[in-house]
């Protein structure tokens, strides 16, 4: 059956002030890139081999099997179709997997990059061809049941035996058991194992080891290896996150990945030129999370915005037709700040990835001077973007009312699959503290007269505090960036003063740091928010933007900055930088901006260019025909395969008959 466009959505699109295609080209890097994206998405979405029953109607075991089969098909077809470019692979796999992953995802995301980044040329010759061609499947085993973010505290041991030139691998305690690696439970036959290196009784810290855990013949665990799935989780039902225990498992000396540090046959340890060399891959992964947080938030806002235009509710004026839910200003206030945030993090993620790619060549040559800043910046942005995306996706679900609670909306699955980003690759508070450590070091350098560069350049010099009552234009992006910069400078300075005060009061460095940690996380957040606002504003100076899309994107940038300013108004008022009148003006501007953005809301989410197959939401359908498809989806539920469920005959019928007999 062919459905016509919902008339309300049709009208929304006709009344937009700009062509969404122009913003799509801006978001994806140009017209040719968008064309290629759509070709690859169409190829995947129209491939009958990828079609299957809704995962929400499957058991966990069925979900795992379905996605494993799909993942294998996807890898095979990408090879056949010669889809080798990283961006092309992202477009294609996103269309195949929608908001899910497949059990071999960590092989691509972590196992292979670790081999590329930390194996010697000889080790690459031994394992890389096998791994790239999926002759072996690996995962990355770092997190333990008792330790996660605190990597130095890992308990898994690798003890060198110089007599046999082997490492003896053990998980000596229950809490040392590896826990959480994706693909470990049932899929992988190899792992990169992160373990404490011991030589002649001395610890040399955490190092990576290549370890085969399952037979290549029958896939059974090898001697000394206990491995399995950790059970159901909040989301990611398709992924076999696993546990791993090791009992005196021996591997050759050559199985330690030795690009940066190595152990000689006699047990001599050769240190790496820097302990920070392994940060490169971490920075890349975290920059990716910033971008994906923006994209996931964009999907949620797309669903909620379209549905808010289709859904009509209550009476705004007695006797008048029910208005579109998006006409209520309270609904706009729920959604539009997250629409702006989605654009902000999308563009910031791209900028962060571009900075990393520019720096990666000098990192690969051993010049790691840029790494501390990249590490600090990516950590703070990852923490900020993932936590805001979590809050935003839940707000979008709530904005969809009761139907948002249904898996048909796509929002529960999107949320539960995206929310691990706040914890994976670094718990968000711990990451903020890592950013804060770099900020404290930079701030102290500025006090000593050193000129700072990059994202912390603004900490150099003293920021003047304007006299109270100064009039400023709260829509001016320069003034807004200045406000966020001033706030970040002040909060970083106050955190440094608090830290110093705690130490002067008699606390040692560690206790002083803990006592100041709330101030420090606040400083890292302010620094990261300033970077996002500044980056958003800078991206709008792109000469390729024509006036129509420049105008609407400027409104989004203004809204993002003003909403952040009003939400944290105390920070801007505290030292008199802004006045109560400024905050009042900002609130009025937010209302005015929402009114201006209202006619463009659907066009702005259309510009994200998520086809229905990727959005995977009945509420967010492009054609807006929600109710018909909602009923069809419900009828497809396994519970509706028969008019009378078998449990009626087993339980309900005898219960009813027994009760009737008593009457």
Dig out the tokens for 161 from the structure.
Answer: 């035996």
Q: Which residue has the tokens 């080209």?
A: 25
Query: Contact at 8 Å (CB) between 418 and 99?
Result: yes
d(CA 614, CA 363): 36
Which DSSP string do the residues of 395-428 spell out, in sequence order? HHHHHTGGGGGSGGGSHHHHHHHHGGGGTTTS-H
Give the three-state DSSP class for 232.
coil
Question: Nearest 5°: phi and psi at 400?
Answer: -95, 5
- The dihedral built from the CA positions of residue 250, 254, 258 and 262, taken in this order, carries a sign that is positive
Tell me if residue 245 falls in helix, strand or coil.
strand
Question: DSSP letter at 316?
Answer: S
Listed in sequence order, the DSSP H helices in 46-165 are: 60-80, 86-97, 105-106, 112-118, 121-132
Query: What tokens does 245 get?
Result: 């225990």
Q: Is 401 left (phi over 0), alpha (psi -120 to 50) or beta?
A: left
Report the SS3 class of residue 651: helix
Kindly report the backbone phi and psi dihedral angles of residue 157, in degrees, each rounded to the nearest multiple of 5, phi listed first. -115, 150
Cβ within 8 Å of residue 583, ≥6 positions away: 565, 566, 569, 572, 573
Choose, from 425, 427, 574, 657, the residue flagged as catalytic. Answer: 425
Q: Find all residues with CB under 8 Å of 142, minimum gap 6, and list them.
A: 151, 154, 178, 181, 194
DSSP, collapsed to helix, strand or coil, labels residue 27 as: helix
> How far is residue 253's CA from residue 199's CA, in Å, rounded to a whole number?
12
- State the Cα torsion 511-515-519-522 to the nearest 10°: 80
Q: Report the C-alpha gap between 140 and 193 in whole angstroms.
A: 7
**Alpha helix positions (H), 203-271:** none
CA–CA separation, 415 vs 405, rounded Å? 11
CA 497, CA 516: separation in Å to the nearest integer?
Answer: 10
Q: 425 catalytic, yes or no?
A: yes
Which residues lie across from 207 on neighbouring strands?
Answer: 195
What is the DSSP secondary-structure string of 590-650?
HHHHHHHHGGGHHHHHHTT---HHHH--STT-TT--HHHHHHHHHHTSGGGSSSS-HHIII
Phi and psi at 168, nearest 5°, equal: -105, 115
For 85, the 3-state DSSP assignment is coil
Report the C-alpha gap between 330 and 335 in whole angstroms: 9
Catalytic residues: 425
């Amino acid at each position: 059956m062919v459905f016509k466009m919902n008339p309300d959505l049709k009208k929304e699109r006709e009344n937009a002030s700009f062509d969404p295609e122009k913003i799509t080209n801006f978001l994806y890097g140009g017209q040719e890139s968008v064309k290629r994206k759509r070709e690859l998405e169409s190829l995947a979405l129209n491939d009958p081999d990828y079609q299957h029953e809704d995962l929400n109607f499957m058991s966990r075991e069925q979900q795992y099997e379905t996605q494993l089969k799909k993942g294998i098909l996807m890898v095979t077809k990408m090879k056949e179709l010669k889809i080798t470019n990283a961006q092309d692979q992202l477009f294609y796999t996103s269309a195949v997997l929608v908001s899910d992953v497949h059990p071999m995802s960590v092989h691509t995301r972590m196992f292979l990059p670790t081999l590329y980044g930390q194996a010697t040329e000889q080790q690459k010759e031994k394992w890389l061809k096998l791994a790239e061609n999926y002759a072996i499947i690996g995962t990355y085993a770092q997190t333990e049941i008792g330790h996660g973010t605190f990597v130095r505290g890992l308990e898994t041991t690798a003890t060198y035996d110089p007599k046999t030139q082997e490492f003896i691998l053990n998980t000596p305690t229950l809490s040392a058991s590896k826990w959480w690696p994706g693909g470990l439970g049932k899929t992988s036959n190899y792992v990169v194992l992160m373990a404490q290196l011991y030589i002649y009784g001395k610890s040399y810290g955490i190092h990576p080891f290549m370890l085969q855990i399952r037979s290549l013949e029958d896939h059974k665990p090898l001697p000394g290896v206990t491995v399995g799935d950790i059970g159901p989780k909040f989301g990611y039902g398709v992924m076999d996150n696993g546990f791993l225990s090791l009992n005196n498992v021996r591997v050759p000396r050559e199985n330690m990945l030795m690009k940066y540090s190595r152990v000689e046959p006699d047990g001599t340890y050769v240190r790496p030129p820097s302990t920070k060399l392994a940060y490169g891959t971490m920075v890349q992964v975290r920059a990716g999370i910033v971008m994906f947080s923006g994209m996931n938030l964009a999907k949620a806002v797309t669903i909620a915005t379209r549905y808010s235009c289709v859904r009509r509710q209550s009476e705004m004026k007695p006797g008048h037709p029910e208005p579109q839910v998006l006409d209520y200003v309270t609904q706009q206030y729920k959604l539009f700040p997250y629409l702006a945030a989605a654009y902000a993090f999308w563009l910031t993620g791209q900028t962060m990835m571009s900075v990393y790619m520019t720096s990666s060549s000098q990192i690969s040559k051993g010049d790691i001077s840029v790494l501390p800043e990249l590490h600090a910046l990516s950590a703070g942005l990852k923490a900020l973007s993932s936590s805001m995306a979590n809050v935003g996706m839940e707000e979008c679900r709530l904005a969809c009312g009761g139907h948002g609670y249904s898996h048909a909306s796509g929002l529960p699955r999107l949320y539960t699959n995206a929310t691990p980003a706040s914890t994976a690759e670094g718990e968000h508070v711990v990451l903020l503290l890592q950013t804060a450590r770099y900020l404290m070091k930079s701030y102290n350098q500025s006090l000593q007269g050193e000129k700072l560069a990059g994202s912390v350049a603004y900490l150099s010099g003293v920021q003047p505090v304007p006299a109270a009552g100064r009039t400023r234009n709260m829509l001016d992006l320069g003034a807004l960036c200045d406000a966020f910069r001033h706030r970040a400078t002040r909060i970083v300075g106050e955190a440094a003063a608090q830290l110093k005060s705690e130490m002067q009061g008699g606390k040692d460095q560690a206790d002083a740091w803990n006592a100041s940690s709330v101030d420090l996380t606040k400083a890292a957040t302010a620094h990261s928010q300033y970077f996002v606002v500044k980056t958003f504003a800078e991206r709008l100076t792109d000469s390729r933007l024509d006036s129509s899309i420049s105008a609407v994107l400027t409104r989004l940038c203004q809204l993002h900055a003003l909403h952040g300013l009003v939400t944290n108004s105390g920070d801007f008022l505290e030292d008199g930088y802004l006045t109560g009148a400024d905050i009042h003006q900002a609130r009025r501007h937010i209302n005015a901006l929402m009114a201006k953005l209202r006619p463009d809301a659907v066009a702005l989410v259309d510009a994200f260019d998520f086809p229905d197959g990727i959005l995977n939401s009945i509420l967010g359908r492009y054609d807006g025909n929600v109710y018909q498809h909602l009923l069809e989806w419900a009828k497809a539920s396994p519970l509706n395969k028969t008019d009378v469920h078998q449990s009626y005959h087993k339980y309900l019928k005898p219960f009813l008959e027994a009760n009737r007999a008593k009457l």
